[in-house]
Amino acid sequence: MYDFENTVALVTGAGSGIGRATAKRFAADGATVVVADIDTEAGQETAEKIEADEDGEVTFLEVDTSRSKSVAALVDATLNQHGRLDYAVNNAAIGNTPAQIPEIDEDEWDRILDVNQTGVWVGMKHELPAMYDSGGGAIVNVSSKAGVRGSPGRAPYAASKHGVVGLTRTAALENATEGVRVNAVCPTIVETPALESMTEEERSSIIDEVPMKRAASPDEVASVIVWLCSDEASYITGQSFPVDGGETQK
């Protein structure tokens, strides 16, 4: 458990999976949590779970992370309602329909990059000034195993997640003396609705690539994210942490 009392944490893509687990963990450790998602039903469900399970202070705000005006409004609303921003987790992302590079539709490419890569840049564009005004903070961007190695059939997703790593490293260097640390996590397959929607054969094929022979739980990824925001990680910035059961070591 970490002491996040009197702090405010913003989590995008918090309607399910890693985002929901991270929001709940922040709340359990005492933070006021802003749950943000484009899916209002899922986001409100997360907020309700936090209120019921963690008895935490939580706000749900709708956001389209691919749109700068929407993210600016999200950060402004966070500051208006809670007066500060200490932690931000840029987690919102989408996947692409599997296809080889010559077969990828340009609109599909743009859609993936807008949400997964531009969304992280836009997030930090508006989060960083808010953190300066709050006296500092920490940002964790959610990349992927596909952000540190190739991913056949998923070129848009891999390119976007590699971009997240590059943005993280650059932001960390730009803010090393500004009191804001910036890191990334790079999960492998996680027990999320996307995994559940696959056939048994598809799941087995993916999980067989993981040395630990299982998917990560959302809580296992959330624990690394929250640790990176805590004072116990106070000298860590610009890093991209695999949460992958050893997969990137193969």
Is residue 199 assigned to a domain?
A: no
Is residue 202 assigned to a domain?
A: no
Is residue 42 assigned to a domain?
A: yes
56-to-158, 195, 239 alpha-carbon distances in Å: 35, 29, 30
Q: Annotated catalytic residue: which of 151, 157, 160, 240?
A: 157
What CATH number does residue 152 fall under? 3.40.50.720
Render 95-147 in DSSP notation, one character per residue: ----B-GGG--HHHHHHHHIIIIIHHHHHHHHHHHHHHHHT-EEEEEE--GGG
pLDDT in tens, the chain (250 residues): 899 999 999 999 999 999 999 999 999 999 999 999 999 999 999 999 999 988 889 999 999 999 999 999 999 999 999 999 999 999 999 988 889 999 999 999 999 999 999 999 999 999 999 999 999 999 999 999 999 999 888 899 999 999 999 999 999 999 999 999 999 999 988 887 777 767 788 778 888 989 899 888 999 999 999 999 999 999 999 999 999 999 888 7
- Cα distance between residue 132 and residue 114, in whole Å: 26
Q: Annotated catalytic residue: which of 66, 144, 145, 161?
A: 161
Is residue 104 assigned to a domain?
A: yes
Is residue 250 assigned to a domain?
A: no
Q: Among all chains, which residue has been given the structure tokens 């709340």?
A: 27
Quote the domain boundaries for residue 156.
8-190+218-241
Active site residue 213: no
Active site residue 161: yes
Is residue 206 assigned to a domain?
A: no
Structurally, the chain folds into a number of domains equal to 1
104: left (phi over 0), alpha (psi -120 to 50) or beta: beta
Q: Annotated catalytic residue: which of 143, 144, 160, 240?
A: 143
